[in-house]
Amino acid sequence: MEEPNNFKKYLDSKKRIVIKIGTQVLLNKEGKPSLAAFKNICDFSSALIGQKKEVILVSSGAVAAGKDLLDINPGLNNFSIPQKQAFAACGQPLLMDNYDSCFKRLGIKTAQILLTKEDISVRKRFTNARNTIYELLKNNVVPIINENDTVSYEEIKFSDNDHLSALVLNLVCADLLIILSNVNGVFDKNPNLYKDAKPVKIIGDIKNYVKNFKENTKSLHGTGGMKSKLYASFIASSAGIDTLIMSGKDKKSLNALITGNLKGTLVSSSIDKINKKKHWLLFGMEKAGEIVADEGALKAITYQNKSLLASGIVKIKGDFKKGDGIYIVNEKGIVFSKGIANLDSEDIKKIKGLSSGEIKSKFGKEKISSLVVHKDKMAVSV
C-alpha cells in the first residue's frame, strides 16, 4: 500500500472510528493523570465527531489513576493482581470523571462500558455488548470502553488494551483503528536507543512485519509495547480495517490529522480479509478444547473448504459441549483451524476415526452425526 494521495479524502471515507488511548498518553512527566491530556483527547474526538464520524474510545489509565489517588509512587510497578485490581477500582471513576467533564464542556455525552474477555468470547454476550454500543451511538453518546480489571483474572484477561481495541473493531463494525501512544508511530529501530531510527510511514504486509519485529522495551505505566500495537493492527487488518499508530501527546499531530495530514504510521488492511463471523472465531472465541485431525482432514479443511468429519479425527483434548469453541490441530499441536463443535466431546470420542456408514451401523439408535465441525462455523488460521 502506498500513502493515500489525498489523505483528507481517505479520512472522510471513515465513518466509525475506534480510538485506543494508552496510559502514557494521559499522564504528565511525573506519571500522574493530566487533565490537559484528557482535554486534548476529547478535543480530538470532538473534531472527528464534527466531521460526522462516530467515535468509540478504548482507554487505559485506571490503574495509574488509582495509584495516584492512593498516593502510590507512580514509578513502582511490582504489584500483585489483587493490588492492581484495587487500583483499577479506585481509578476507573476518576478516569470517567475526567473524560465526562472534558466532553461535557463540548456538549458531548459519554457512557462507560467495562468488558471482560468473556464478553467478547461468548457469542451471546458479544451480541448484547454490540447492541448496547449501537444504541449509544444512535443517541450521540461516546462509549468509553475499558477492561473490567476489578473482576478479570489471568485466565480471562485480554493481554492488554491494544488487544481489546482490536477486538472491539469487530464488535462495533468499525472503519478505522487509531492507536494513540507516546511515540510518533513505528520506527525501523527503537528511537529511545538509536538516534538514527527512521519513522515508518506505511506498513503493507503487517503479518510478516509483526513476525520480524523485535522489541526490548515496554512503557513504564502501561502493559503493552509497540509489538502489541502491531499485533492489534494485524487483527484489524485481517478484518479489512486499517490502523493508524501515532502520538496522542503531540497536539500538533492530532490537529494535523483532523485537517487531513497523515501523521504516524498507517498499517493497511489485508486484501484477503475475512468476514466478521470468521474473524470472531479466529480472534475472539474462547477455546474449550482441541481436536487432533489427520493430514487428509487438515488438507480438506485448509484447501478445499470442507467440514470436519469424524473419520478424520485422531484424538480429543479437553471436555466440551456442543456449541463450544474448539481448535483443530495436527499431531504436533499446530493450529490449522478454529470453530464451533457440533457435538459434545464424549460423543466425538465414540465416533472418532469412523465413517458415516460405520457410525450409523454402530450407533444407529443414538443417531450421532458424523459432522463434527461445519465449514460455515469454522475459520482457517491466518
Range of the domain at 350: 287-380
Give per-residue burial for 37-54: e unless 16+ CB within 10 Å, then b. bbbbbbbbbbbbbeeebb
Joined together, the cell numbers standing for residue 217 give 522495551
If asked whether residues 135 and 221 sit together in one domain, one would say: yes
Dmax (CA) for the chain in angstroms is 73
Lowest mean pLDDT among 177-181, 207-211, 216-220, 300-304: 216-220
At residue 3 the predicted structure's pLDDT band, cuts being 50, 70 and 90, is low
Mean pLDDT of the chain: 89
Q: Which of 260, 278, 296 is the last residue of a domain?
A: 278
Does residue 340 sit within a domain? yes
Q: What is the number of alpha carbons within 13 Å of residue 325 lying toward its C-beta?
A: 18
* Residue 346 in this model has a pLDDT that exceeds 60: yes
For 176, the enclosing helix (H) or strand (E) is strand 176-181
Separation in Å, CA 85 to CA 49, 82, 98, 149, 157: 33, 5, 20, 6, 12
Q: Are residues 83 and 215 in the same domain?
A: yes
Q: Are residues 273 and 291 in the same domain?
A: no
Residue spans of alpha helices (H) in the chain:
7-12, 35-50, 62-69, 81-104, 117-121, 123-138, 161-172, 206-212, 226-238, 251-258, 276-279, 295-304, 345-351, 356-363
Which three cell numbers mark 194? 538509536
Among the ranges given (30-34, 131-135, 210-214, 292-296), the one the predictor scored with the smallest mean pLDDT: 210-214
Residue 188 belongs to some domain of the structure: yes
- 111 and 89 co-located in one domain: yes
Q: Shortest CA distance to 294 belongs to which of 304, 279, 309?
A: 309
Q: Which carries the bigger pLDDT value, residue 148 or residue 328?
A: 328
Burial of 371 from C-beta contacts in 10 A (0-12 / 13-18 / 19+): middle
Same domain for 15 and 70? Answer: yes
pLDDT digits 0-9 by tens, 208-261: 898 888 765 544 444 457 888 999 999 999 999 999 999 999 999 999 999 999
Position 74 pLDDT exceeds 90 = no
- The answer to whether residue 114 sits within a structural domain is yes
Domain containing residue 60: CATH number: 3.40.1160.10
Lowest mean pLDDT among 296-300, 306-310, 324-328, 360-364: 360-364
| Domain harbouring 317, CATH code | 2.30.130.10
Whether residue 153 is predicted with pLDDT greater than 80 in this model: the reply is: no
180: Cα within 13 Å, side-chain hemisphere: 30
| In the predicted structure, residue 91 carries a pLDDT above the cut 80 | yes
Domain match, 214 and 354 both: no
Within a domain: 2: no
C-alpha 237/C-alpha 170 separation (Å) is 11
Query: pLDDT band for position 4 (50/70/90)?
Result: low
Three-state helix/strand/coil letters over 239-276: CCCEEEEEECCCHHHHHHHHCCCCCCEEECCCCCCCCH
Counting every residue, how long is the chain?
A: 382
The pLDDT, as a whole number, for residue 213 is 82
CA angle at 349 for the pair 345 and 350, rounded to the nearest 5°:
120
Pairing relation of β-strands 325-329 and 289-293?
A: parallel
Average pLDDT, integer, range 90-96: 95
How much of the chain is in helix, strand and coil states, percent to nearest 5? 40, 20, 35
Q: Does 38 map to a domain?
A: yes
* Total tally of structural domains belonging to the chain: 2
Domain boundary (254, 278, 302) is at 278
Residues 23, 148, single domain; the answer is: yes
